[in-house]
Amino acid sequence: MTKKDDVVIKLEDVWKIYKIGDNEINALAGVDIEIPRGKFVVIMGPSGSGKSTCVNMVGCLDIPTKGEIYLNGDNIAHLGESELAQIRGKTIGFIFQQFNLIPTLTALQNVMLPMAFQDMDVGEREERAKELLTMVELGDRMNNRPTELSGGQQQRVAIARALANDPDVILADEPTGNLDSRTGIIVMEYLQKLHNQGKTIIMVTHDPKMTKFAERVVLLKDGKTVKKL
């Protein structure tokens, strides 16, 4: 059994219920997930299984209707948005399928942005952003805007941005979904490197081939955890 101190994120009987008129939709219906520190965990499920809602819970982007969410042992299920935002900024780095880069900013500025919300000195922000972009082999594209980069390059900028505040956890939501298979492999190799450096990686996907990278797999169906491998 995993020790409490070794669990970075835990969802305990988590429900998310949406009311549409007189109807209630159970997007999550009693989900239980433990994310051990330093592990590579894949959360899988078909369309409509509750993956996106689960991402919001694991990533502290939303609070549950019922149930508890623990981050580093602290119950965050009932915190306000401003408190959640601070926790997210320091603890979790996000990588999205759509990249979510700001088109009017350069690659360097996109990577610097999360650090601004943590009140880091502008000189330190720029130095760290340059280091991160060099790490993902984009040292020569720092001043390019997203429209001047390929999909794979944009996703590497997104990886660098996710690392900006040196988070404990990297949450990747379908990170290869908009990439060709060769570029997708490159992105997965970067995630594997981060895992080897001690980061906790949580990847949400519908692609069974992605499970080969995982140390633990959680399967969702109809808003419930149906299997943990």
- Band (118; pLDDT cuts 50, 70, 90): confident
Tens of pLDDT along 173-186?
999 888 888 898 89
Q: What is the mean pLDDT of the chain?
A: 91
Angle, helices 151-162 vs 181-196, to 10°: value is 20
| pTM for the whole structure | 0.89
**Domain 39-62+79-228 falls under CATH 3.30.413.10:** no
Scanning 48-121, the segments in alpha helix (DSSP H) are 51-58, 81-91, 107-116
In this prediction, residue 228 carries a pLDDT of 66
**Spatial distance between the Cα atoms of 27 and 48, rounded to a whole number of angstroms:** 8
Helix or strand holding residue 33 (H, E): strand 23-36
* Cβ atoms within 10 Å of 192's Cβ, excluding its own: 13
In this prediction, residue 229 carries a pLDDT of 64
**Spatial distance between the Cα atoms of 18 and 20, rounded to a whole number of angstroms:** 6
How many helices (H) and strands (E) the chain has is answered by: 6, 10
**Spatial distance between the Cα atoms of 147 and 140, rounded to a whole number of angstroms:** 15
